[in-house]
Amino acid sequence: MTASGTFRIGGDLEVRRLGFGAMHLLPESAEARAACIAVARRAVELGVTLVDTAHMYGWGANEDLVVEALHPYPEGLVIATKVGFRRTSSGEGWRHAGEPDDLRTQVDEALRRLRLDRIELLQLHRLDPGVPLADQLGALRELRDEGKVGRIGLSEVTVAELAEARAVVDIASVQNRYNLLDREHEPVLKACEAAGIAFLPWRPVAWGDSGARSAEIAAVAKELDATPTQIALAWLLAHSPVILPIPGTANIAHLEENVRAEAVRLGQDQYNRLSRASGSA
């Protein structure tokens, strides 16, 4: 870790701690597409250096939009993506896809879609319960050794799964559901802290309704002349130096609101009150 506003993923890939989740950029019309492209470009204009996408977000459509908006990528911009799912025409519309050959194919597909020679942060979207973990991560390790992947991350894992994964390959990041009012994965966060692993919380502001769900968040927001969303993000940044929030939006005003959360400074008493808001200090 360097200064409070940045973090080195894997010990060497420096990014601004407040990133951007591109998941919501899935337009259904030409007009909406133009608006989504404008949001992605505005994020970079505001200094965001970590953009998080995934093959599952529109089955490649989200990655395609990121390319249209941002390629050729500015120096220092990290495009992180995820593999591990395949689209199906039955059931829930998807299946796990952690077979080594399939993962290799998915990475090659992502490289082509994103117009990259190397994916600096590749995340396994979910562990495939039908494939030995060592086989899944062994394939990603080989891709890293070949230079197609820079660093490997995981998503929605337990402390035990993280430990098992680290016995196979270096893990640079973990992306679990986590926010001020939902701290089920606090033990995973603590494990990441101990190992210097980046923790990217998805759903970092509880779908933006934090102020309605917590009088304490609303009170602190009023004290600091900030919005409840900004307070929720500021708490994440203060809670752990390894947290890299990736709030997502398809609205420029909301994007700018999120980025301004970096300037919100919680006093110790305010931080403590917020920490008690979900029943745990």
Catalytic residue numbers read 57
Amino acid identity at 13: L
Tokens 């990217």 found at: 200
Angle (CA) 178 180 186, round 5°: 50
CA–CA gap between residue 119 and residue 163 (Å, rounded): 24
The residues, ordered by sequence, that sit 6+ positions from 195 with a Cβ below 8 Å of its Cβ are: 166, 171
- Dihedral sign (CA 247, 58, 111, 85): positive
Name the region of 208 (left: φ>0; alpha: ψ -120 to 50; beta: rest). left
Contact 152, 141 (CB under 8 A): yes
Provide the pairing of β-strand 78-83 with 119-124.
parallel
Amino acid identity at 262: E
Contact 110, 55 (CB under 8 A): yes
Closest CA to 237 of 19, 42, 29, 22: 19
Q: What is the 3-state secondary structure (H, E, C) of 132-156?
A: CHHHHHHHHHHHHHCCCEEEEEEEC
DSSP class of residue 261 equals G
Tokens 């992180």 found at: 80
CA–CA gap between residue 140 and residue 16 (Å, rounded): 25
